[in-house]
Amino acid sequence: MKGKYEGPFYLYGSDMREKLLKPARDIRRILLLGYPKFVTIRLVADHFQLNVEERHILTRVIVPPDRIAPRIGKKMVYIDTRYKDILLDGYNVLLSMDSLLRKKPI
């Protein structure tokens, strides 16, 4: 999978990454058709016989397509923030990133 964006799955090691990439792609395709996120994840997770931890990972890292553009619009270039104070209300993001970096369920 060199050269392709694999999302946050790279933090979980190659076995977990390989196991979750196909379900994640399937979930994304179904979400593009307008189906609800949690129903879609449950359907695909059942099909791939994923365990509770793997389902939890997918639930936390999959973002419906209609929510991606607004989030990308919030990105800031590093040079724009240099020498400025930044206030973030990101408690849940902080907890998720901490778990991802520690390779624990998020």
- Encode the chain in three state secondary structure: CCCCCCHHHHHHCHHHHHHHHHHHHHHHHHHHCCCCHHHHHHHHHHHCCCCHHHHHHHHHHCCCHHHHHHHHHCCCCHHHHCCCCCCCCCHHHHHHHHHHHCCCCC
Of 7 and 81, the structure prediction assigns the larger pLDDT to 81
pLDDT tier at 30, thresholds 50, 70, 90: very high
Is position 89 within any domain? yes
* Domain of 22, in residue numbers: 8-101
Is position 74 within any domain? yes
Is position 88 within any domain? yes
pLDDT tier at 40, thresholds 50, 70, 90: very high
Is position 24 within any domain? yes
Number of independent structural domains in the chain:
1
pLDDT tier at 1, thresholds 50, 70, 90: very low
pLDDT of residue 45: 97
pTM, two decimals, is 0.62
Is position 45 within any domain? yes
Q: Is the pLDDT of residue 21 over 60?
A: yes
Average pLDDT of span 28-46: 95
